[in-house]
Amino acid sequence: MLVSSIARFNAVNTMNNAAMGAMTASSSVINTVSHAKSFGGEHDLAMLNKMDKKYSLDLASNSLLYKIAYLQEKRAAKQQDSNIKTFSTFA
């Protein structure tokens, strides 16, 4: 039961970190777009394209990490409930 509780806390922590990473990437995209007027020339457009790809990849990876952690937490909760039922049967 302790192990499943630790697994749940770890999964929730991972979910929070992934959500924060997604918010940071989203905020960076918004800041980049809002300051895009200050960029000029072909070199700067290539830099903007590179930044856009990086932030898009960060956003996608954080979203995937969040979904995986959510499923891990859900599985750990199910395991914890199963352990509680098993212990209550023996008591």
Question: For helices 2-34 and 41-90, what crossing angle results, to 10°?
Answer: 160
CA 70 to chain centre: 9
Comparing 26 with 36, which gets the higher pLDDT? Answer: 26
pLDDT for 17: 93
For all residues of the chain together, what is the average pLDDT?
A: 83
Give the pLDDT band (50/70/90) at residue 24. Answer: very high
Q: In the block, which residue shows the tokens 């954080």?
A: 62
Give the pLDDT band (50/70/90) at residue 88. Answer: low
pLDDT for 46: 79
Tell me the per-residue pLDDT of 29-54, one tens digit each, with 9 for 90 and over: 888 777 766 666 556 777 778 888 99
